[in-house]
A = this chain, B = another copy of it.
Amino acid sequence: MRIIHPIAKMQSLAESLRNQGRTIGFVPTMGFLHEGHLSLMRAARQECDTVVASIFVNPTQFGPGEDLERYPRDADGDRIKCEDARVDYLFMPAAADMYPEKPSVFVTVEGLSDVLEGAIRPGHFSGVATVVSKLFHIVKPHKAFFGQKDYQQCAVIKRMVSGLNLDVKIIVLPTVRDQSGLAMSSRNSYLRDDERRCAAVIHRALSDAEQLVRNGVRQPEELKKAIRRILAGEQGVSIEYVEIADPDSLTPLTSEQSRMVMLVAVRLGRTRLIDNLLVL
């Protein structure tokens, strides 16, 4: 595995790989890799000739007061994990190279970016869309792999790709969970042991709601109430939102629909956690 820092080097390498007829699979990450990231890398390994992963903690998607400074990092551990996952190139650009000046160019996805996470974290998805577009231009992937855990992010990126006619196939893979059902996230490292045990309630609430759906309960308000009730049963969990939305537009549903995504954001102490469950 080669580690690449300069943007120009990564870009010319990607260009030459494409010119050789090799397909490029890309897994953009913010590092502190876990089994979720690795599942994406393994999928890229299966589907593409060359696998590029990136590690870049993108400052522009963090709001003031968010966890940019304390975001967990482990460059050495990440390198070993990428090697084990048979990544070919690990791209680790410097922030000063990605943003040599105060950013003035932005990609925005209106509507999708303004609800749920976007309502709580203004500017977050513009930061995400912009950096992903930059990374796509640098890494030139045929396919890019994202985890469903960040459901809204996936929706924003898919919309960006179609809106800007980017020639990249977006592949969304299932959320990887620990034994308790907690969705893998680099931010889980913030959790104390007792908080981590509490956090399992998120997936339990969503799974129970899914069971309700299977049993014929499809009224969004009822499902949301059920999820809230289960979440509230765990002390220390404070709910930021519980929503049932259209899986494509993320518009909140007000009536029974066959397709829906259930999305949850909670706080556990200082830690924000999100999760979701798709019902099709």
Which residues of A approach B to under 8 Å, CB–CB?
7, 11, 15, 18-19, 21, 103-112, 129-130, 133-134, 137-138, 140, 159-160, 162-167
Contacts and interface: CB of A to CB of B under 8 A. Distances in A.
A104 B137 contact: no
Contact of A111 (B104, B137, B159): B104
A115 to B, nearest CB: 13
Contact of A165 (B104, B137, B159): B137
Contact of A167 (B15, B106, B130): B15
Taking each of A15, A18, A133, A140, which has the highest tally of chain B beta carbons within 10 Å of its own beta carbon? A133
A46 B147 CA distance: 46
Contact of A107 (B7, B105, B138): B105
28 contacts: A11-B167, A15-B167, A18-B18, A19-B19, A19-B21, A103-B163, A104-B109, A104-B110, A104-B111, A104-B112, A104-B163, A105-B107, A105-B110, A105-B159, A105-B160, A105-B163, A106-B107, A106-B110, A107-B107, A108-B108, A130-B164, A134-B163, A134-B164, A134-B165, A137-B167, A138-B165, A138-B167, A140-B167
A164 B15 contact: no
Given A104-B163, A105-B163, 16 more contacts: A11-B165, A15-B167, A19-B19, A103-B163, A104-B112, A105-B107, A105-B110, A105-B162, A105-B164, A106-B110, A107-B107, A133-B164, A134-B163, A134-B164, A134-B165, A137-B166
